[in-house]
A = this chain, B = another copy of it.
Amino acid sequence: METAMEHWLTKRAALIPEALAIEIANGESWTFAQLYNESILLAEKLANHIKKGQHVGLLSNNSLDMIAAFFACTYLEAPVVFLNTRLTKEEIQTQCQTADVNLILTTKNLKEKAAFDSVTAYTFSEIHQLDPIAVPIAHTITMHQLCTMMFTSGTTGKAKAVMHSFNNHWSSAIASALNLGLLPSDKWLACLPLFHIGGLSIILKSVIYGMPVYLLEKFDEQTVHQAIMKHHVSIISVVAVTCSRLINALGEGNYPESFRCMLLGGGPAPLSLLKKAQKKGIPIVQTYGMTETSSQIATLNENDAFRKSGSAGQALFSARIEIRKRERQLPPMEIGEIAVSGPMVTTGYYKCEDANSSSFKDGWLLTGDLGYKDMEGFLYVVDRRSDLIISGGENIYPAEIENCLLSMDAIAEAGVVGQTDPTWGQVPVAFVIKNEPELTSDQILAYCKEKLARYKIPKHIKFVQSLPRNATNKLQRHKLLEWL
């Protein structure tokens, strides 16, 4: 049963046209009527270049243009494929091939990354100069239609495009509202890139809730601090390291009453951090989620933070979490694979039948993460996927870097693991067996720079004689970690 709904932005602009929708740090802002008008205008300007159903690449850092371009595509019924601006041209080209993208909307300073044969790229400035033409605008959303795609790597290291339907995004926004409430004074800060689910989901909450969003291009502790202190931001998303920096920036002061919640993702918060936050009266809601769940799917509320320290809490209303081993549900306290289900969970990866058939069983997504539930049903995540490295908020899959290294003839074997880093949380470190004795670290790093986004380039190269492998010859990354 396909369910239709009036387009969220059309509806919101009709309900509260004059209310603040998006505000940026330079003081510029759009009401819902402006956001609607800009999006429709952009759709009319793009209408000659985008066909219904066409996949449109969006390569941009956070900006008003980027948001209007996203909504313009939804009005033309063209799914948006979000491209990470930190990727190399080669990586972007691969993702465009994977997701059937032959048109990219981008900014002037990123256009060079979209300059390859198989796609046409338009910058926002170029689009603004096009003439609008009258076209049929889709003011109705078919909930189960594809809205967006975002890339995630998975354990193989091969980037897969997670498909989000409108219903996935809607259900995520609703589940979050049932968890955190909806206050008339709410204003969410978006400082994560919108090409990540943690960023985009806030923009969608804005139109679904009728709530203003304070948009930043990136996390910067002083700007975020000011957003809370002076611009009435009430909710922000953080990871342990950014949370800690914000608390330091706060010093002896306190947040104003308008501030009500820090959503903390990316693994459990250290107890010392929770205690600092408590002392400052900062409510911390710890979360568990991934691109595939359209944002958080489990949260640990402030009241349980100490009683259930280390837990990611319970599945949101309308979501479910089970612990499984060989398709069997495990009893409490036993560790297995975390399986999730609910209307916010993706229906699959685009054109990726192998991953789809191995990851989805009877409506459940097997996340690859390991964990257990306690007797009260609280989730404890033991390992975020096997060997995943999270560096400055970006997911890095060791296998992808290993594949890159192994593509050098001078390298025989390679193993990559994450090393704890005070700035980035983790950074990738590579263990390499040479094929050619004269190979240097610099040569390897120069090669990687051609192939990999900056954040994926190993911080250190360690030359070794052999790599730890198990009986089936599988690399034992946990032993590499011991070597560090």
Contact = CB atoms under 8 A, between A and B. Distances in A.
Nearest to A180: B182
Contact of A178 (B14, B208, B320, B377): B208
A343 interface: yes
A15 B317 contact: yes
Contact of A208 (B12, B183, B317): B317
Given A6-B320, A15-B317, A317-B15, A210 B178 contact: yes
Interface in A380-419: none
A14 B317 contact: no
A207 B5 CA distance: 25
A1 interface: yes
A142 B6 CA distance: 24
A144 B1 contact: yes
A184 B182 contact: no
A6 B342 CA distance: 9
A409 to B, nearest CB: 51
Contacts of A256: none
Contacts of A177: 177-178, 182
Contact of A343 (B3, B208, B363): B3
Interface string A2-20: 1111101001101100000
A318 B318 CA distance: 18
A4 B70 CA distance: 30
A314 interface: yes
A255 interface: no
Contact of A183 (B2, B181, B343): B181
A241 interface: no
Contacts of A210: 178
Nearest to A174: B174
A21 to B, nearest CB: 15
Contacts of A6: 318, 320
Interface in A89-146: 144
Nearest to A11: B317
Interface string A159-187: 00000000000000010011001111000
B14 A314 contact: yes
A183 to B, nearest CB: 6
A209 interface: yes
A178 B3 contact: no
Most buried by B among A15, A144, A184: A15
Nearest to A318: B5
Contacts of A178: 177, 182, 208-210
A11 B342 CA distance: 13
Contacts of A2: 1
Given A6-B320, A318-B5, A377 B183 contact: no
Nearest to A140: B320
A314 B17 CA distance: 13
Nearest to A209: B178
A373 to B, nearest CB: 11
Given A6-B318, A6-B320, A15-B314, 10 more contacts: A1-B144, A11-B317, A15-B317, A174-B174, A177-B177, A177-B178, A178-B208, A181-B181, A182-B182, A208-B317
22 contacts: A1-B2, A3-B343, A5-B318, A5-B342, A5-B343, A11-B317, A14-B314, A14-B377, A15-B314, A15-B317, A177-B178, A177-B182, A178-B182, A178-B209, A178-B210, A181-B181, A181-B182, A181-B183, A181-B184, A182-B182, A183-B183, A208-B317
**10 interchain residue pairs of minimum CB distance:** A181-B182, A182-B182, A5-B318, A1-B1, A6-B320, A174-B174, A14-B377, A181-B184, A3-B343, A11-B317
